[in-house]
Every structure is written in structure tokens, then in C-alpha cells.
């Protein structure tokens, strides 16, 4: 009886350690990709390279923080419980297949909705609206915090891309339709 319990604990530790090494390897690969993207984008003009530089900088920072958190939990041996997947924070590891399929469909649906929002009403409206909705639904934050986050996102778009980089944006379909009607 004692032997079975010890064997079960050993198997659980091995599974956790194996999962840790897989996730840590993915993190290291992502950091290498983000660093490569940042270095490569330095050769481009400011307007062309600004977005890849910002994304890769935030990518390195967020993956590094995640890797530190993952390592800290592994050291404290608290990694055996339910954990979040690296890039999909609302999906828990170990869910049933039906739930995972629904969540995967939700991810794709949100991506399509964001793209449609950019096409129909423009990036300046779609990005803050998307951020606001994600913070409310998946971040489970208060409405005013989500509004502040969306406002800061819009401010970032306006200052960095409109004013500093002079980015050219698409003409939203609905705005063009309203202009044509009136």
C-alpha cells in the first residue's frame, strides 16, 4: 500500500517536471524568436519597424516574467495544481475535450471578430473595444479598470503610431458607407 502511494507521487513529480521542461523550452524558444525579431527590425525604417520592436520588446518581457513565475512555482513545488497555458490565459490545462474545443473556437472567433472590427470600424475603435471586452470577460476586472486599459491602449495607438510614426491606416468600411450616404 505504501509502495503504491510512493510510486504515484513519483509519477506525479515526473509528469510535473516533464511539463516544466517542455514549457521552459517553449519559453526559451519564444525569447530567442522575439530577440531575433527585435534585432532584425532595427534595420527597418521607424514606421516599418516600430510595431515589431514594441511587440518583440513586450514579448521578451512577458515571456521572461512567465518563465520566472513558472520556475518559482516549480521550485516551491506548487506546479502540480491546475495552471494556465502560456498564451491562452483563460484555458486551464487538463480540461475535458468538449470544453477545450469550445475555448479554441472562442479564441478563433475573437480573432475573427477583432479583424472584422478593424475592417468595419477601424483600428482606433476595434483595438480598444477588443481590449475592453477581453479585460471584462477573461480578465474579470471591474468595468472602470477595463475602460482605463482601453483608454491607455487608444492613447498608445494615437501617440506612438499616429503622431510619432505617422502610420497610414485603412479606411473603415462603415465610415466610408456613412460618408457615401450623407
Q: Is the pLDDT of residue 128 over 70?
A: yes
Taking the whole predicted model, whether its pTM rises above 0.85 is answered as no
pLDDT in tens, 75-94: 776 544 555 544 454 445 55
Task: Give the pLDDT confidence score for residue 152 in this predicted structure.
Answer: 92
- Per-residue pLDDT at 4: 63
Q: Write out pLDDT tens, residues 169-179.
A: 778 888 888 88
Write the DSSP string, the chain.
-HHHHHHHHHHHHHHHHHHHHHHHHHHHHHHHHHHHHHHHHTTS-HHHHHHHHHHHHHHHHHHHHHHHHHHHHHHTT-TTS--EETTEEEEETT--HHHHHHHHHHHHHHHHHHHHHHHHH-HHHHHHHHHHHHHHHTS---HHHHHHHHHHHHHHIIIIIIIIS----PPPHHHHHHHHH-
| pLDDT digits 0-9 by tens, 35-61 | 998 998 898 888 778 888 888 898 899
pLDDT of residue 89: 47
Amino acid at each position: 500500500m505504501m509502495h503504491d502511494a510512493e510510486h504515484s507521487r513519483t509519477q506525479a513529480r515526473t509528469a510535473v517536471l516533464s511539463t516544466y521542461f517542455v514549457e521552459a523550452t517553449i519559453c526559451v524558444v519564444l525569447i530567442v524568436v522575439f530577440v531575433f525579431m527585435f534585432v532584425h527590425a532595427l534595420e527597418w525604417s521607424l514606421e516599418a519597424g516600430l510595431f515589431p520592436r514594441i511587440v518583440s520588446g513586450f514579448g521578451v518581457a512577458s515571456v521572461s516574467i512567465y518563465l520566472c513565475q513558472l520556475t518559482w512555482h516549480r521550485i516551491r513545488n506548487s506546479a502540480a495544481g491546475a495552471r494556465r497555458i502560456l498564451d491562452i490565459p483563460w484555458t486551464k490545462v487538463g480540461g475535458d475535450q468538449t470544453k477545450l474545443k469550445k475555448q479554441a473556437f472562442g479564441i478563433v472567433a475573437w480573432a475573427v471578430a477583432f479583424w472584422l472590427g478593424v475592417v468595419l470600424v477601424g483600428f482606433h475603435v476595434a483595438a480598444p473595444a477588443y481590449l475592453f471586452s477581453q479585460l471584462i470577460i477573461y480578465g474579470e476586472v471591474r468595468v472602470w479598470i477595463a475602460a482605463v486599459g482601453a483608454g491607455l491602449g487608444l492613447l498608445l495607438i494615437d501617440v506612438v503610431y499616429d503622431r510619432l510614426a505617422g502610420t497610414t491606416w485603412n479606411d473603415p468600411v462603415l465610415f466610408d458607407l456613412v460618408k457615401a450616404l450623407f
